[in-house]
């Protein structure tokens, strides 16, 4: 393990830092910015970090293929609930295991392997704006709900990727000539998200991943068939959120997610890196950041209190946070521990968000309009009364055909809870003191 650890904790290569982030007024890339190594994400740390690699974590990972691994007599955790969740994961797991003999895990740590890429010369695709319009039309035909295009930004490429099988880091290979990133958004089921945190509720993420993978594979092959490079990414190669913001698909929220106009934060994002010339989209602003400044719904309803109650800052909770970026940051360690102990994903920060609505309803459209105006405080108070951020009973989801569900647990409303913020500030102070002590000793 000595040589492996040396590789795991290698210093990042030189890079440009302190550049403007064109995607959010509340995000600033500072001169202290460091690119992210994939071995530092919480799912990778579950395989090598002794603080998280244990029997309970391994059972959590196994539960995605063994429906009885974490089943129990608790609402949303029956064998039927796990079977529902694990169905879509079979698609992404199948793709991830196809090239394991080459130490690849497509979609998770490696880009999707091209399927017989055609050897053709680049086709005449018209102007960049025409090419962008055609790509968006095809992407939506193939299943994308949202599509945006932005320039390739090497800051968001992982400095290294991670092999869970060999427990080593490996180089990230992006071919020269890549100029653009196509960002695809796939919405998650509204009713399922409202059951979080249960196995039934996490089916929303599983289905989103499976559908996103199919769309990515199809669109990448379309682009290759026109004679251009197309590298399809899911959880691999680069960070999704900065690209989604720069491609104009939404705004950054307190919960650390992209909040979109049509689906709120209920969206999975995939990317395709390409050299196809295309017109770029521009970042959007529709009041999310101003709403998040006064709303604490996600932070109040986070079971492990992993979401920051304070303003955007460069504070990092631990090594799973990107360094040198001023933004709202979440504590990945607390979040992951809760998932492992609970035995399934948690999406409370999505479920409780005021933007997580059925946007086909007139009242929802009125609410979204109010959140764009100085009336946002009133809109949040009104939204508290709708109780649509409460957790619903999985059993009522199974029985209902009309979307009328019974409440399992009442959620906290939007207002700042001084007690919760005070507890979080004390923990930060303890951590900061520990960091300072370690720095003095080192």
What's the CA gap between 318 and 331, in Å, rounded?
Answer: 7
pLDDT-derived band at 11 (thresholds 50, 70, 90) equals very low
Amino acid 10: pLDDT = 37
What's the CA gap between 245 and 318, in Å, rounded?
Answer: 24
DSSP string computed for 253-313: -TTSSEEBTTTBT-EEEEEEEE----PPP----SSHHHHHHH--HHHHT-TT--B--S--B
pLDDT-derived band at 3 (thresholds 50, 70, 90) equals very low
Mean pLDDT of 195-209: 96
Token look-up 């946002």 returns: 376
Q: Do residues 254 and 133 touch, judged by C-beta distance below 8 A?
A: no
Mean pLDDT of 274-280: 98
Mean model confidence pLDDT for the chain: 92
438 CB burial (10 A radius; 0-12, 13-18, 19+): exposed
Q: Which two tokens stand for residue 351?
A: 């479920």
Amino acid 289: pLDDT = 94
Mean pLDDT of 122-144: 97
Q: For the chain, what percent of residues have pLDDT higher than 90?
A: 87
pLDDT-derived band at 15 (thresholds 50, 70, 90) equals very low
**How are beta strands 230-233 and 258-259 bridged, if at all?**
unpaired
Q: Which two tokens stand for residue 10?
A: 């290698």
Q: Which two tokens stand for residue 284?
A: 């959007």
SS3 assignment, position 213: helix
SS3 assignment, position 131: helix
259-to-117, 194, 209, 237 alpha-carbon distances in Å:
35, 16, 18, 22
Mean pLDDT of 130-137: 98
138-to-44, 101, 142, 166 alpha-carbon distances in Å:
34, 33, 6, 38
Q: Which two tokens stand for residue 177?
A: 């000539």
H/E segment holding residue 141? helix 128-141
In sequence order, what are the beta bridge partners of 313? 327
Q: Which two tokens stand for residue 160?
A: 């290294």
Residue 327 has pLDDT above 90, yes or no: yes
What's the CA gap between 336 and 412, in Å, rounded?
Answer: 22
List phi, psi (to 5°) of 439. -65, -40
Amino acid 19: pLDDT = 66
What's the CA gap between 302 and 337, in Å, rounded?
Answer: 13
pTM recorded for the entire structure: 0.93
């Amino acid at each position: 393990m000595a040589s492996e650890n040396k590789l795991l904790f290698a210093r990042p290569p030189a890079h440009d830092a302190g550049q403007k982030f064109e995607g959010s007024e509340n995000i600033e890339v500072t001169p202290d910015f460091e690119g992210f190594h994939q071995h530092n994400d919480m799912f990778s740390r579950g395989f090598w970090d002794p603080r998280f690699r244990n029997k309970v974590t391994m059972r959590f990972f196994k539960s995605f293929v063994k429906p009885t691994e974490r089943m129990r007599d608790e609402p949303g955790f029956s064998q039927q609930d796990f079977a529902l969740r694990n169905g879509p994961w079979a698609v992404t797991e199948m793709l991830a295991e196809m090239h394991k003999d080459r130490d690849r895990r497509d979609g998770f740590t490696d880009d999707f392997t091209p399927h017989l890429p055609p050897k053709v010369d680049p086709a005449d695709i018209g102007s960049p704006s025409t090419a962008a319009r055609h790509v968006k039309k095809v992407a939506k035909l193939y299943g994308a709900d949202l599509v945006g295009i932005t320039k390739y930004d090497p800051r968001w490429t992982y400095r290294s990727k991670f092999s869970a099988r060999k427990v080593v880091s490996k180089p990230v290979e992006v071919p020269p000539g890549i100029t653009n990133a196509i960002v695809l958004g796939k919405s998650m089921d509204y009713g399922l998200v409202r059951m979080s945190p249960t196995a039934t509720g996490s089916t929303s993420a599983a289905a989103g991943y499976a559908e996103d993978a199919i769309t990515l594979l199809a669109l990448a092959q379309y682009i290759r068939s026109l004679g251009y490079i197309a590298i399809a990414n899911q959880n691999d190669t680069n960070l999704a959120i900065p690209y989604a913001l720069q491609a104009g698909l939404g705004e950054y929220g307190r919960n650390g997610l992209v909040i979109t106009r049509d689906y709120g934060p209920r969206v999975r994002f995939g990317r395709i890196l390409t050299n196809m010339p295309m017109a770029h989209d521009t970042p959007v602003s529709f009041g999310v950041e101003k709403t998040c400044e006064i709303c604490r719904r996600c932070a109040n309803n986070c079971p492990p209190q992993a979401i920051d109650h304070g303003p955007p800052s460069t504070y990092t909770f631990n090594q799973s946070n990107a360094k040198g970026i001023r933004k709202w940051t979440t504590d990945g360690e607390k979040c992951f521990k809760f998932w492992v102990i609970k035995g399934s994903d948690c999406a409370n920060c999505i479920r409780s968000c005021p933007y997580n609505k059925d946007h086909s309803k007139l009242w929802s459209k009125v609410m979204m309009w109010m959140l764009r105006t100085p009336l946002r405080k009133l809109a949040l108070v009104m939204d508290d009364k709708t109780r649509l951020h409460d957790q619903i009973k999985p059993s009522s989801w199974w029985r209902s055909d009309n979307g009328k569900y019974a409440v399992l647990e009442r959620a906290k409303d939007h207002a700042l809870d001084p007690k919760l913020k005070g507890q979080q500030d004390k923990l930060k102070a303890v951590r900061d003191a520990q960091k300072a002590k370690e720095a003095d000793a080192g």
